[in-house]
Structure 1
Amino acid sequence: MATNFETSKPIYMQIVDTIFQRIVRGEIGPGEKLASVREMAIHSGVNPNTIQRSYAEMERMGVVETKRGQGTFVIEGEIIVERLRHTMQTEIISQFVKSMEELGISRQQMISRLESFLKEGEQNDDPLK
């Protein structure tokens, strides 16, 4: 069951992002063991070295720890989850704002448009109707 990856971002970072999303959603909890490098490689359809690089990056970021002979575990404590959630939200908002600014949309128009979208939903989104 290979995963479809984007070409715009390194695969190992896309794997990191996927694991982070699972942690933030509560699918993987603090202290929980991640799949082995081999299992994750098979599941993702990538080379085990790519998974090892993903795990090493997450360890460098302080989100997981490797226990020799036992595997890789999410760091204990809810603060990790909150930190991840905040970081991911900031990245998404930053990309949204950048994209809208590239379209020439003012910040006030962004706020107004977002409020309208959240209030009315996507069905009332077409200004030509």
Structure 2
Amino acid sequence: MKFRFIFFLFQRAKICEKRNFSTTHFLVRFLASTQTPDLNEITEESTKSTGGPWKVVLWDDNEHTYEYVIEMLVEICMMTVEKAFLHAVQVDKEKRTVVFSGELEHAEHVQERILNYGADPRMSNSKGSMSATLEK
């Protein structure tokens, strides 16, 4: 229950304050410190799939925040904030996460959008988008 309530607050803060760094930063850090999500919860249901064999793999780096990853996955992969948060935790802990699987053409489109998403405005050392590769 607490987990869902915090995600509700995160969504409201994001909508109402339009990327207010301190509020978003606080909520994500609070979630990360109080909840240890079960990474086994990331299944085919939490990875957008159109039934094809191609996967889009998002790779970890030190130039993007949790907030950036969550916002990007919500926008590009149409994930819920909760699912995007689980992927952000997974990419941070395991250094990679599969964010999409499907036919080659669609997977290439998702990968291209990730690669062109741009730098994280919250981090001065962020030079560009995150890395994403295709796997079969």
**Which structure has more RCO (C-alpha within 8 Å, separation ≥ 6)?**
2
Q: Output the TM-score relative to the length of structure 1.
A: 0.28
Q: Say which structure is richer in helix.
A: 1
Q: Output the TM-score relative to the length of structure 2.
A: 0.27
Report the structure number with the largest CA radius of gyration: 1
Q: Say which structure is richer in strand.
A: 2
